A and B are shown apart, each in its own frame.
Chain A
Amino acid sequence: MNNLSFFSRILPIPALALLIACGNPASHKDSDHDHGGDAHGHGHDHDHDHDAESTFRIQDTQGQAPRVFASNYPLRFFTERIGGDLIEIVYPVPADEDPAYWTPSPEDVRAIQSADILFLNGATYEKWAETVTLREDRIVNTSAGFSHRYIKLQDAVVHSHGPGEEHSHAGTAFNTWLNPQHAAAQANVIYETLAAQLPDHGSELLQNHEVLREELEALDKRFGQAIADHENTTILASHPVYDYFAERYSLDIVSLHWEPDEFPSIEQWIEFAEIHADNPTDWMIWEDVPADKTQARLREEGVDWIVFRTAMNTPEEMDYIAIMNENANNLLEIFE
Chain B
Amino acid sequence: MRSLFLAWRYMAAHRGKTAILVACIALTAYLPLTVHLLLQEFEQDWTQRASATPLVAGAKGSRFDLTLHALYFQTQPPETILMGDVENLRSQRLGTVIPLNARYSTQNIPVVGTTLAYFDFRNLSVREGESLALLGDCVVGYIASRELGLTPGDGILTDPENVFDVAGTQPLRLRVAGILDESGTADDNAVFVDIKTAWVIAGIGHGHADMKTEASDDVVLNRENNRIVANAALENHIEITPENVTSFHFHGEREEMPVTAAIVVPPDDKSAVLLRGRYQSRDSPLQLLVPGDVVDEMLRLLLRARAVLDANVILVAGSTILFLILVIALSLKLRGSELEIMFHLGCARLTAARLVTLELAAVLITGLLLALALGAATVQLAPLLLKALTQT
Contact = CB atoms under 8 A, between A and B. Distances in A.
A271 to B, nearest CB: 15
Nearest to A112: B133
A257 interface: no
Nearest to A162: B232
A161 B230 contact: yes
B232 A2 contact: no
A5 B229 contact: no
A131 B134 contact: yes
Interface of B: 41-42, 44-46, 48-49, 51-52, 54, 60-64, 68, 72, 74-75, 90, 96-97, 115-117, 120-121, 130-135, 137, 143, 167, 182-186, 188-189, 194, 196, 203, 205, 208, 211-212, 219, 226-232, 234, 240, 242, 245-246, 248-252, 265-269, 272-273, 276-277, 279-280, 282, 287-290, 292-293, 296-298, 301-302, 304-305, 379-380, 382-383, 386-387, 390
B103 to A, nearest CB: 16
A8 B45 CA distance: 7
B232 A54 contact: no
Interface in A27-57: 27, 31-32, 34-37, 39-43, 45-47, 49-54, 56-57
Given A34-B289, A42-B292, A53-B54, A167 B133 contact: no
Interface residues of A, number: 76
Contacts of A221: none
Given A9-B72, A53-B52, A157 B133 contact: no
Contacts of B246: 103, 127-128, 131
Interface stretch (A18-26, A72-80, A282-290, A321-329): A18-26
A1 interface: yes
B276 A12 contact: no
Interface stretch (A132-140, A185-193, A258-266, A300-308): A132-140
Given A131-B248, A162-B232, A5 B143 contact: yes
A3 B385 CA distance: 12
B227 A159 contact: yes
Interface of A: 1-16, 18-19, 21-22, 24-27, 31-32, 34-37, 39-43, 45-47, 49-54, 56-58, 103, 106, 109-110, 113, 127-128, 130-137, 155-167, 169
Given A40-B273, A133-B132, A8 B72 contact: yes
Contacts of A137: 90, 96-97, 115, 117
A7 B226 contact: no
Given A8-B72, A19-B64, A157-B226, A133 B54 contact: no
